[in-house]
Amino acid sequence: MTRSELMAELADANPHLRAADVERIVATVFDEITGALARGQRVELRGFGAFTVKQRDARTGRNPRTGESVPVEPKLVPFFKAGKELRERVNAGPPARKRGSA
């Protein structure tokens, strides 16, 4: 689901809200999650999951074109861990179709 699809579904489910208001709500939620992660805070949405920031240590990588060793600096990366309810609902859903099958 894309951001625009999310906004369309929220607008359909809440006809009393204008499209501009739905867009502002979605943008505000994403901005708050992003801001909290940028400050190193954890964001937990009960039943859905938790967003955290993890540190990746410095390492030696390889340039895929040349095979040359390249130093990779340490960095912070966003991380999502699904909550129990989300995992259970995903696992209880219909089986996923394999690519290329009819």
Domain 42-91 coded CATH 4.10.520.10: yes
pLDDT confidence of residue 94:
77
Higher pLDDT, 100 or 20: 20
Alpha-carbon span 24 to 42, nearest angstrom: 23
pLDDT tens per residue, range 51-101: 999 999 999 999 999 999 999 999 999 999 999 999 999 999 776 666 665
Per-domain boundaries in the chain: 1-40, 42-91
Half-sphere exposure of 26 (CA within 13 A, CB side): 17
Sheet holding 43-45, edge to edge: 43-45, 49-56, 75-82
Tell me: pLDDT of 40 over 60: yes
